[in-house]
Amino acid sequence: MNRVKILLTLGFGLLLFASPGVAQDVLAGRHITVNGEGSVRARPDLAIADLGVTAYGETETMAMAQNSRTIASLRQALRENEVEDGDVLTSDFSIHRERVQPQRRGDGAGEPKERFVVRNLLQVTIRDIDRAGQLLDRLVEAGANEVRGIRFSLQNDKQLALQARELAAADARGKASHLAQLHEARLGKVLRISESGVRAVRPEAMMMKAMDTSSSTVSAGELTFAAHLQVIYELTD
């Protein structure tokens, strides 16, 4: 290795070694660290339901045929309720064999039997959440025997995330200013900002049976977008 390469390698190594110290020098003086929080709430405009069909049969062919017929019925019900094909996807599909114990024993009836199980689950995006309960009722009528749950979201949540972040930044500066005043100091420039992310706290779906009807009531509630920041300010006299 020639002398130029040695010097370059040595200099690069010294730079890497010195970098942590350079970063720490920024916080060498008087400073204050505060956490800021901000949150905004909004009504969701999107519902995502997980549901499907579990079918049984003495043979794999029988179970598959039964499942396929019911899934076709579900998809037809979705089209009739103006749910686009692009808003329906298969989230799980499985076939397995299981042993079933008879309910009563005696005279050979106690021998376990085998049957095939076919499960087909769909993820359905509902863009008109006011009709979510009505749609779920229709799907159950069409043969859905598994409803795994329903969750809510927003088609566009960027603006809410920005608002939550702005509130968190104002909260951090307000706390820092107050603490600085209590200690007869003033805030200087911002030395460091770190964000733990803007998180959407999604409400759990509430599905209830009305007392005097057979229809389902789905309560969407509100979404809360929460932002968390840590800000380090310089302190001056």
The CA distance from 220 to 204, in Å, is 8
Task: Please state which CATH class domain 26-43+156-236 belongs to.
Answer: alpha beta
pTM of the predicted protein model:
0.65
Q: Count how many Cα atoms sit within 13 Å of the Cα of residue 50 in the half-sphere of its side chain.
A: 10
In the chain, residues under CATH classification 3.30.70.2970 are: 46-106+117-153
How does pLDDT run across 172-190, given as a tens digit for each residue? 999 999 999 999 999 999 9
How does pLDDT run across 44-88, given as a tens digit for each residue? 989 999 999 999 999 999 999 999 999 999 999 999 999 999 999
203 pLDDT higher than 80? no
Other CB atoms within a 10 A radius of the CB of residue 109 amount to: 9
The CA distance from 216 to 218, in Å, is 6
- Distance from the Cα of residue 21 to its chain's centroid: 39
Which residues share a beta bridge with 216?
A: 209
In the chain, residues under CATH classification 3.30.110.170 are: 26-43+156-236
List, in order, residues 6 or more apart from 147 with CB less than 8 Å away.
49, 50, 51, 136, 140, 207
Average pLDDT of the segment spanning 217-225: 80
135 exposure class (CB count in 10 Å sphere: 0-12, 13-18, 19+): buried
Identify the DSSP state of 13.
H
The architecture in CATH of the region 46-106+117-153 reads 2-Layer Sandwich (3.30)
Confidence of residue 207 (pLDDT cuts 50, 70, 90): very low
Question: What percent of the chain shows pLDDT beyond 70?
Answer: 77
